[in-house]
Amino acid sequence: MGKYVLKRLGYVLVVFLILSLLMYLVYAMIPYDRARAEVEQYKTIYKNEPEKFEAKYQELRKELGLDQNVFVRYLGWIGVVPINGQYQGLLQGDFGYSYTYDRPVVELLSEPMRNTVFINIIATIIALGITIPLGIFCATHRGGKRDTFIQTATIVGYSIPTFIMAIVFIWLLAILLREGIEAISGLDLNIFPVSGMKTPGSAYTGIQKFLDELHYMALPIIVMTVGSLGGMTRYVRASMTEALSMDCIRTARAKGLREKIVVYSHAWRNALIPIITLVIGWFLSIFSGSIMIENIFGLNGMGQLYIGSLNAKDFEVVLLIQMFYVIIGLLGNLVVDIAYGLADPRVRVNK
Amino acid sequence: MEKKQNKRPSGFTRIFGRMFLGNAVEHTVENERYDSPSKLAVKRFFRKPIAVTALVILLAMILFVLIGPILMPIDLSYTETLHTNVAPNLSMMSLPSEMKDSPVSITSQGSFSLGIDKDGGVHTWGYYYSFSKNPAKDVMNIPEKVQNANIVMGAAGTDHCIVIAEDGTIYGWGENDNAQYGKDGRMLGEFPQPDELINGKIDVENVEQLICGDQMTAILMKDGTLYAWGNAMAKCMNLASIYKTIKTDNIKLTKVCFTTTNLFGITEDGKFITGSNKQYDFYQGKNTQEYIGNRKVVDIASTGDSITLLLEDSELISLGSIAQGPQIPEGETIESVSAGARHFVLTTKSGKAYAWGNGALNQTDVPKALTKEGSVDTVFASGFQNYAFKDGQLVEKWGLRGYLMGTDDLGRDMLNRVVNGGRMTMTIGAVAVIVSSIIGIIVGCISGYFGGWVDLLLMRVTEIFSAIPFLPFALVLSAILQGSSLQEDTRIFIIMIILGLLSWTGLAKLVRGQILAEREKEFVVAAQSMGIKESRIAFKHILPNVVSVIIVSLTLDFATCMLTESSLSYLGFGVKLPRPTWGNMLDGCRNSIVIQHFWWRWIFPALFLAITVICINIIGDTLRDILDPKSEVEK
């Protein structure tokens, strides 16, 4: 097992290096010159001296390492090759610098990541709480009218893109519900705020702060939960169906066990294995956040930071987040495989 | 009795069937046994009502986006400022029945029309969106005192109406924030409604003309006195100079008209008055006034940005954006010219009608019946509609009926955009799926078939590609494309390829796995032992078993690619406006105001996209159930 994990880790490293080179090359293709942008501020100083301005530009290029070959720059970014006589790369713990925020990228990430993880964990827990019973119900009533209905509904659920679902929920919950309450009771309650992270100007602490954030994130969380219901229900149903068709279930039924025990004690345990791996994979992906949801609701999360940086041409941030996504994806696969092996002794991971 | 008779034969057939052909149920099973797998699959597919419904809807949708753009070609630069955010309605040309018999006037500047019938009644029809949500400011809402009064004249502006009652009272209603009527306006321009017209009365007999423009109103008296008021600062910039001309040159106006920014008139002795405006000073390379020379201008009409002058010798002078007049046969005498918001209509002495100008909303499509002599004597060209009358009776009407799906913030027809956007979304989805399938099938086949180090290498490549975070990477690539100076069409094509390049890994793994599994099966071993050629085994024995997987994957990937395109376009990284797709049409609908008030702007593209994707997914899902041999065993 240890050997297998090591082997896989080595493999992850190789893939990461290949991908990071690929990404770096892609970013190098973006027609954007950081030195040109930086030198703009000297334009007034060297107004009548174009040679000095040009010299300054070249100096900046050198300083930023832009005069080097793209592969050298890549190695410099990793931290194997010195840029301007200094080792400053990922290996040295230098993850880049954001020019729009004027801060190291790492400092920039903590707040968005906290928010992203927060909404993702809540949404996943709620979604699991709904989908597991629903999936079991569908599997045990397979082929029935209710199952067919739920199956069709789940197709509808995973077919509707997040942004449409978000618009519909904003319309239903933030507009119609608000108008309805206002019409009935005369109170203008903002139950589901459409954008923002907290009450503007508030300085809550502790539990009050948490509740306030929950209040503001309620709508995104609902949309996320509903958005993931379709796929997860189908997954639970599929693994439960698989488990119910096992020989041990037939044996259990032949023994005359009660259906409840057969389903929840025998079948469910077998169905749990793929579901656990799914959940683990899910929990890893929550760090990467949801670009669409954060963009629509204006949440300060990883996805929003990514889009914002992309629009602001702040490519060191973009590159780092992208590499973060890659690592999360690769490690996620690895963890799922290992978890599978641990949960189900029949699976030989090193095969 | 009839029911019984109907039922009996079917019972007979059943008994007959059982006697000679065996049990009915067994019969179908026997049939299936001899069918080829594909035939069987088709049969089983058509036994599922949901899947069949989905297929029908999807086919209808595909036909809709394939044929629609041919019928409704898109003009990317088209906008219509007078029809922004119009809700779905088809009532813009529904003339009230009272108006069909010798109406006094029909006027319109935008999406609603105002009509005065011969009995002094006032009617409004069409559509108006009142931003203030104040019923008193809703121009469609005719005030009670106006309804009770006997109205003899009326005109509609873009957001207000002015009518004159028989006793000389002037009523105004609708929006009045820009001094359209009364004294409540914020008076942006220096031309408020004159006090004597608010509190006093007007001599109805002496009124020559009442006309409304965009937030402007003018009343011209028979003695040449001009009253004009409204948002002169923005909508009638030459008004002060017109007043000055009247005073200094001592002229007497006989007819005036508004463009969206100015007022123009003609005088008693046939002069064309422009005030300080120099916009229309040149006609066919000459100074307009010099070109007219000594000839008299007898009629004037104006659309939003162009003017047509009718000279006494029946020559038409078109100034502004609509430069080309109609082809009128020699010897025809023009009776009068009237103007809609974007087009002109003229009637000839012989009783024919001609229309010209911007006909994007069918305003210039004069019905065949009106090209005959003596078919028409009056045409009310108002806004985007035309009503032709002969001896006081309505003969024909043509123009814009309304918008089935409303319009967007730039006044573009949503139906047109949904149709054309659908074509774009589906094309991108289809091309992306084809690209990804070709790569996926080739990689999967080679990998599964050759095995060994080729398999190892290709699978590592596949894994690297599948480790790329999809949406972020697609975003970066389209950001790169945006920076380049590529043509929009090329850029869209590259986006299709990129989407394909990023989504082939799943299919490749699937095909490889399937081929590996099939290779080991007994029928392949049997075929090999019979000495059948390797290539024949590959294509005749293995491929058919893989095809089902490919078909299912193709269907489901098509839906995914459409969604990805929409998401990219929604985030502003895919197809750019003004070119529509179902995704970027929703881009402008992200704020609560649009979601709440202009529901038609998001509900139609969202509905079409959702329904299409749902149908494709249902079909793909059903296909998987049918083609997967395991699912049958479980049943």
The DSSP result for A7-57, as a single string, is HHHHHHHHHHHHHHHHHHHHHHHS---HHHHHHGGGTTTTTT-HHHHHHHH
Token pair 């008209």: residue = B257
User: pLDDT tens across B81-106, in order?
Assistant: 888 888 888 888 888 888 888 888 88
User: Smallest Cα–Cα separation from A167: which of B588, B447, B109, B563?
Assistant: B588
Question: What does the pLDDT read at residue B10?
Answer: 53
Asked if A56 and A46 touch (Cβ cutoff 8 Å), the reply is yes
Residue ranges with strand state E in B259-331: 263-267, 272-273, 282-283, 286-287, 297-302, 306-311, 316-320
Residue to mutate among A12, A142, A167, A316, with most B CBs inside 10 A, is A167
User: pLDDT tens across A268-281, in order?
Assistant: 888 887 787 777 76
A96 pLDDT exceeds 80? no
Question: What does the pLDDT read at residue B9?
Answer: 47
Question: What does the pLDDT read at residue A344?
Answer: 65
From A319, which residue of chain B is nearest by alpha-carbon distance? Answer: B476
Nearest-angstrom CA–CA distance, A68 and A61: 9
User: pLDDT tens across B479-498, in order?
Assistant: 777 777 778 888 888 888 88
Question: What does the pLDDT read at residue B5?
Answer: 46
User: pLDDT tens across B278-306, in order?
Assistant: 888 888 888 888 888 888 888 898 888 88
Between B255 and B232, the higher pLDDT residue? B255
Looking at residue A306, its amino acid is Y
Name the B residues in 458-477 with CB < 8 Å from any A CB.
460, 463-464, 467-469, 471-473, 475-477
Which class would CATH give B43-70+414-627? mainly alpha
Chain B within 8 Å of A189 (Cβ-Cβ)? no
Q: Do residue A160 and residue B613 have CB atoms under 8 angstroms apart? A: yes
All residues of chain B having their beta carbon less than 8 Å from the beta carbon of residue A302 are none
Phi, psi dihedrals of residue B176, rounded to the nearest 5°: -140, 25
What strands, in cross-sheet order, belong to the sheet with B316-320?
B297-302, B306-311, B316-320
Nearest-angstrom CA–CA distance, B44 and B26: 16
B189 pLDDT exceeds 70? no
How wide is the angle at C-alpha A226 spanned by C-alphas A225 and A229, nearest 5°? 85
**Cβ-nearest to B589 among A18, A143, A167:** A167
Asked if B599 and B591 touch (Cβ cutoff 8 Å), the reply is no
B58 pLDDT exceeds 90? yes
- Residue A85, min C-alpha distance to chain B (Å): 31
All residues of chain B having their beta carbon less than 8 Å from the beta carbon of residue A31 are 480, 483-484
Please give the DSSP secondary-structure letter assigned to residue B573. S
Q: Do residue A295 and residue B571 have CB atoms under 8 angstroms apart? A: yes
B229 pLDDT exceeds 70? yes
Nearest-angstrom CA–CA distance, B233 and B189: 4
Looking at residue B182, its amino acid is G
Question: What does the pLDDT read at residue B499?
Answer: 87
Average pLDDT for residues B530-558, to the nearest whole number?
82
Asked if B214 and B157 touch (Cβ cutoff 8 Å), the reply is yes
CA distances to A306, A321, B470 from A313, in Å: 10, 14, 19
Residue ranges with strand state E in chain A: 97-98, 103-104
What strands, in cross-sheet order, belong to the sheet with B122-126?
B105-108, B112-116, B122-126
CA distances to A51, A299, B84, B111, B138 from B88, in Å: 63, 34, 12, 12, 18
Question: What does the pLDDT read at residue B26?
Answer: 47
Predicted complex: ipTM over 0.95:
no
Adjacent-strand bridge partners of B306: B320
User: pLDDT tens across A6-48, in order?
Assistant: 888 888 888 888 888 888 888 877 777 777 777 777 777 777 7
All residues of chain B having their beta carbon less than 8 Å from the beta carbon of residue A162 are 567
- Token code pair at residue A148: 């067919």
B36 contact partners, CB below 8 Å, separation of at least 6? none
B77 contact partners, CB below 8 Å, separation of at least 6? B578
Adjacent-strand bridge partners of B228: B218
From A156, which residue of chain B is nearest by alpha-carbon distance? Answer: B614
- Token code pair at residue B426: 């589906």
Q: Do residue B586 and residue A174 have CB atoms under 8 angstroms apart? A: no
Between B426 and A332, the higher pLDDT residue? B426
**Cβ-nearest to B467 among A159, A296, A329:** A329
User: Smallest Cα–Cα separation from B60: which of B432, B318, B426?
Assistant: B426
Chain B within 8 Å of A318 (Cβ-Cβ)? yes
B344 pLDDT exceeds 50? yes
What strands, in cross-sheet order, belong to the sheet with B253-258?
B253-258, B263-267, B272-273
B25 pLDDT exceeds 50? no
* Lowest model confidence (mean pLDDT) among A117-126, A337-346, B253-262, B565-574: A337-346
Chain B within 8 Å of A174 (Cβ-Cβ)? yes
Half-sphere exposure of A340 (CA within 13 A, CB side): 16
Radius of gyration of chain A (CA): 26
Residue ranges with strand state E in B358-509: 378-382, 385-390, 393-399
Average pLDDT for residues A178-185, to the nearest whole number?
84
Looking at residue A286, its amino acid is I
Mean pLDDT over the full length of chain A:
81
Q: 3-state DSSP call for residue B255?
A: strand
Q: Do residue B567 and residue A292 have CB atoms under 8 angstroms apart? A: yes
Torsion of CA A111, A115, A121, A122, to 10 degrees: 150
Name the A residues in 244-273 with CB < 8 Å from any B CB.
245
B28 pLDDT exceeds 60? no
What architecture (CATH level 2) is domain B102-236? 7 Propeller (2.130)
CA distances to A24, A27, A29, B487 from B483, in Å: 17, 12, 10, 11
Q: What share of chain A is helix, strand, coil (3-state, %, to 5)?
A: 75, 0, 25
Please give the DSSP secondary-structure letter assigned to residue A144. S
DSSP per-residue codes, B45-91: HHT-HHHHHHHHHHHHHHHHHHHHHHHS---TT---GGGTTPPSB--
Phi, psi dihedrals of residue A27, rounded to the nearest 5°: -65, -35
Sequence ranges of the domains in chain B: 2-35, 43-70+414-627, 102-236, 254-385
CA distances to A37, B95, B120, B151, B181 from B148, in Å: 69, 21, 9, 9, 20
Question: What does the pLDDT read at residue A285?
Answer: 63
Asked if A230 and A154 touch (Cβ cutoff 8 Å), the reply is yes
Pairing, β B122-126 against β B112-116: antiparallel
Question: What does the pLDDT read at residue B188?
Answer: 57
Chain A within 8 Å of B57 (Cβ-Cβ)? no
Asked if B277 and B319 touch (Cβ cutoff 8 Å), the reply is no
Average pLDDT for residues B27-45, to the nearest whole number?
67
Mean pLDDT over the full length of chain B:
83
- For the beta carbon of residue A334, count every other beta carbon within 10 angstroms: 17
Question: What does the pLDDT read at residue B348?
Answer: 86
Nearest-angstrom CA–CA distance, B197 and B217: 12
Report the share of chain A in percent with pLDDT over 70: 94
User: pLDDT tens across B95-151, in order?
Assistant: 888 888 888 888 888 888 898 888 888 888 888 887 777 777 888 888 888 888 888
A197 pLDDT exceeds 80? no
From B465, which residue of chain A is nearest by alpha-carbon distance? Answer: A19
Question: What does the pLDDT read at residue B56?
Answer: 94
Q: Do residue A329 and residue B634 have CB atoms under 8 angstroms apart? A: no
Q: pLDDT tier at B186 (50, 70, 90 boundaries)? A: low
Report the share of chain B in percent with pLDDT over 70: 92
Q: How many helices (H) and strands (E) does chain B have?
A: 20, 23
Asked if B110 and B361 touch (Cβ cutoff 8 Å), the reply is no
Pairing, β B378-382 against β B353-357: unpaired
A108 pLDDT exceeds 80? yes
Question: What does the pLDDT read at residue A289?
Answer: 57
Average pLDDT for residues A164-179, to the nearest whole number?
87
Looking at residue B551, its amino acid is I
Question: What does the pLDDT read at residue A287?
Answer: 63
Cβ-Cβ pairs closer than 8 A, A with B, add up to: 111
Q: pLDDT tier at B631 (50, 70, 90 boundaries)? A: low
**Cβ-nearest to B590 among A161, A296, A318:** A296
User: pLDDT tens across B387-424, in order?
Assistant: 888 888 888 888 888 888 888 888 888 999 999 999 98
- Residue A204, min C-alpha distance to chain B (Å): 27
Question: What does the pLDDT read at residue B24?
Answer: 45
> Which of A178-192, B224-238, B527-541 holds the top average pLDDT?
B224-238
B475 contact partners, CB below 8 Å, separation of at least 6? A291, A306, A307, A310, B568, B571, B573
From B566, which residue of chain A is nearest by alpha-carbon distance? Answer: A161
Question: What does the pLDDT read at residue A349?
Answer: 45
Nearest-angstrom CA–CA distance, B468 and B184: 62
Q: Do residue A30 and residue B483 have CB atoms under 8 angstroms apart? A: yes
Nearest-angstrom CA–CA distance, A291 and B185: 46
